[in-house]
Chain A
Amino acid sequence: MDSEIIRVIAFLVGVIAFAALNAAYLVWLERKEAAHIQRRIGPKEVGPFGLLQPMVDGIKLMTKQILIPDGVDPILFRLAPILAMIPAIMCFVTIPFSQELVARNINLGLLMIFAFASINVLALLLGGWASANKYAVISAARAVAQNVAYEIPMLITVITMVMITGTLNLNDIVAQQPNISQWYIFRFSASPLMPVAFLIFFVCSLAETNRAPFDLSEAESELVAGFHTEYSSMGFGLFFMGEYANIVIGSSLAVILFLGGWQDPFGLFPGVWWFLIKLYCLIFTVIWIRWTYPRTQFYGLLNLSWKILIPISLFNLLLTAGFLKVF
Chain B
Amino acid sequence: MGAYFKELFSGTKSLFVGLQITFGQMLKPLVTQQYPHEISTMTPRFRGHIELIPKEDGTTKCIVCGMCQRSCPSGCITVAGEKREGVKGKVLTKYRLDFTKCSLCGMCVESCRPGAITFSKEYNLASTRKEDYTFDLLKRLEEKAK
Tell me the A residues contacting B by CB distance below 8 Å.
Answer: 33, 36-41, 44, 288-289, 291-293, 308
Contact = CB atoms under 8 A, between A and B. Distances in A.
B21 to A, nearest CB: 8
Contacts of B21: 292
Interface stretch (B27-35, B48-56, B115-123): B27-35
B28 A288 contact: no
Contacts of B39: none
Interface of B: 8, 15, 18-19, 21-23, 25-26, 28-32, 34
Contacts of B19: 288-289, 292
Given A37-B26, A38-B25, A293 B32 contact: no
Nearest to A289: B19
A292 B30 contact: no
A33 B23 CA distance: 10
Nearest to B27: A36
B34 A41 contact: yes
Contacts of B30: 36, 39-41
Contact of A288 (B22, B29, B31): B22
A311 B83 CA distance: 98
Nearest to A307: B4
Contact of B18 (A36, A40, A293, A308): A293
Contacts of A292: 18-19, 21-22
Nearest to B24: A37
A39 B32 contact: yes
Nearest to B19: A292
Contacts of A36: 25-26, 30
Contacts of A40: 30-32
Contacts of B28: 39
Nearest to B21: A292
A246 B52 CA distance: 64
Contact of A39 (B8, B15, B23, B25): B25
Contacts of B26: 33, 36-37
B22 A37 contact: yes
Given A288-B23, A308-B8, A39 B31 contact: yes
A291 B32 CA distance: 18
A33 to B, nearest CB: 7
Contacts of A37: 22, 25-26
Contacts of B18: 292-293
Given A36-B30, A39-B32, A288-B23, 13 more contacts: A37-B22, A37-B26, A39-B25, A39-B29, A40-B31, A41-B30, A41-B34, A44-B34, A288-B22, A289-B19, A291-B22, A292-B18, A292-B22
A4 B34 CA distance: 54
Contacts of A38: 25
